[in-house]
Amino acid sequence: MDHAPITPTTTPRSTTPPPVSAPPATAGPAMTARGLAKRFGTTTALAGVDVDLDGGRSLAVMGPSGSGKSTLLHCLAGILVPDAGTVTLRGREVGTLGERERSLLRRRHYGFVFQFGQLLSELPAIENIALPSMLLGANRRQATELAAQWMHSLGLAGMEQRRPGELSGGQAQRVAVARALITGPAVVFADEPTGALDQATGAEVMRVLTETTRAAGAALVVVTHDATVAGWCDESIEMRDGTVVDRGVLR
């Protein structure tokens, strides 16, 4: 069955100010990585990996356990610092930033969706979504109004006060998608976002994730070992032993 694209009734836009270290919005790819290398002791996790991410496009990173796909995500997201190579976000090299600046960069310019949601169990859904916006300086009213718009656009209206334990797996992941997008990020990173879901629910979450990031103009990186999940993305790379062994355009 065909679905209409998911777009908010009123397009959510962050009202929060960017941190001092925010890179300027420039033409060209949202993010590029060149020659990324990373070792853990004697183990090579990445060996000369190149990545290009365009706004509104999605990339699936595939490979078996130990292939380097999670290490690549962590290096792209500034969680790990590569031993060699560069990561550039909107024309600015992330590796030149200190730890505090990288942390601010992640808050403002990156969104994250995890396998198990990582929602705060003591907060209702609407506050889980609003939290990233408040951390960037928005007042509670602004952040809550924005979160409510996202909940409505993702089919979660009426669930604002439900806590994570009162949501289904698919509903919880929709909350996680809204939380990832509320600050208007340049890149959204999704690490096995359907790994804890059944096939039908996982497909619906991937539809929501790819459509919302595309509509928002954000680049999307999905780490997965599932070819069906990868099929929702525009492009894919296959990793083995820290290197990219195959690239494909899926859409």
Quote the pLDDT of residue 92.
86
Separation of alpha carbons 240 and 189, rounded Å: 20
Quote the pLDDT of residue 5.
43
Quote the pLDDT of residue 117.
67
For residue 165, give the amino acid letter: G
Quote the pLDDT of residue 4.
43
Task: Return the SS3 of 64.
Answer: coil
Beta bridge partners of 31: 53, 89
Quote the pLDDT of residue 3.
46
Separation of alpha carbons 146 and 144, rounded Å: 5
Quote the pLDDT of residue 7.
43
- For the chain, the first-to-last Cα distance in angstroms comes to 19
Beta bridge partners of 110: 187
Each residue's pLDDT expressed in tens, for the chain with a length of 251 residues: 444 444 443 344 443 333 323 343 433 589 999 999 999 999 999 999 999 999 999 999 999 999 999 999 999 999 999 999 999 998 889 888 888 998 889 999 999 998 776 899 999 999 999 999 999 999 999 999 999 999 998 999 999 999 999 999 999 999 999 999 999 999 999 999 998 899 999 999 999 999 999 999 999 999 999 999 999 999 999 999 999 999 998 87
Quote the pLDDT of residue 28.
53
Sign of CA dihedral 251, 32, 40, 115: negative
Quote the pLDDT of residue 118.
84
Quote the pLDDT of residue 8.
45
Backbone angles phi, psi at 215, to 5 degrees: -65, -30
Beta bridge partners of 189: 112, 221
Domains along the chain?
31-249 (3.40.50.300)
Separation of alpha carbons 190 and 89, rounded Å: 18
Query: Which conformational region is residue 220 in: left (phi greater than 0), alpha (psi within -120 to 50 degrees), or beta?
Result: beta
